[in-house]
Amino acid sequence: EVQLVQSGGGLVKPGGSLRLSCVVSGFAFSSWSMAWVRQAPGKGLEWVSSINAGSSYIFYADSVKGRFTVSRDNAKSSLYLQLNSLRAEDTAVYFCARVHYGDYDYWGQGTLVTVAS
């Protein structure tokens, strides 16, 4: 069974940092591109970042470029998102997802990041 288990969300002050994790099981993690997608409270879906299997191709949304860093550890079947210089508008549920053909076929349960003073 494919599972993507997320952790690392929480409440952080503006300007603060947080690291999100996504541990994968049930498929060959090292062979798949992965992505982060977020959803602000009551809002729609926003793609945040993607990383290919070998970490050689990494992309970010303009809204997070220079502040967020995606990485992965294939030996640990883990995906990470380092969130720095957080702003109120970064408040959202963050989902990790497996990249299928560019769509996303498996998703984590989501983790809430709240940026507030």
Partner 1 sequence: DIVMTQSPDSLAVSLGERATINCKSSQSVLYSSNNKNYFAWYQQKPGQPPKLLIYWASTRQSGVPDRFTGSGSGTDFTLTINSLQAEDVAVYYCQQYAATPRTFGQGTKVEVK
* Residue 67 interacting with partner 1 (CB under 8 A): no
Least Å from the CB of residue 75 to partner 1: 26
**Whole-angstrom distance, CA of residue 43 vs CA of residue 38:** 10
**Whole-angstrom distance, CA of residue 36 vs CA of residue 48:** 5
Choices 17-25, 73-81, 82-90, 100-108; region in contact with partner 1 by CB under 8 A: 100-108
* Residue 73 interacting with partner 1 (CB under 8 A): no
- For CA atoms 64, 112, 6, 76, the dihedral sign is positive
Out of 1, 31, 75, 101, the only residue in the binding site for partner 1 (CB under 8 A) is 101
Residues in binding contact with partner 1, number by CB under 8 A: 22
* Residue 2 interacting with partner 1 (CB under 8 A): no
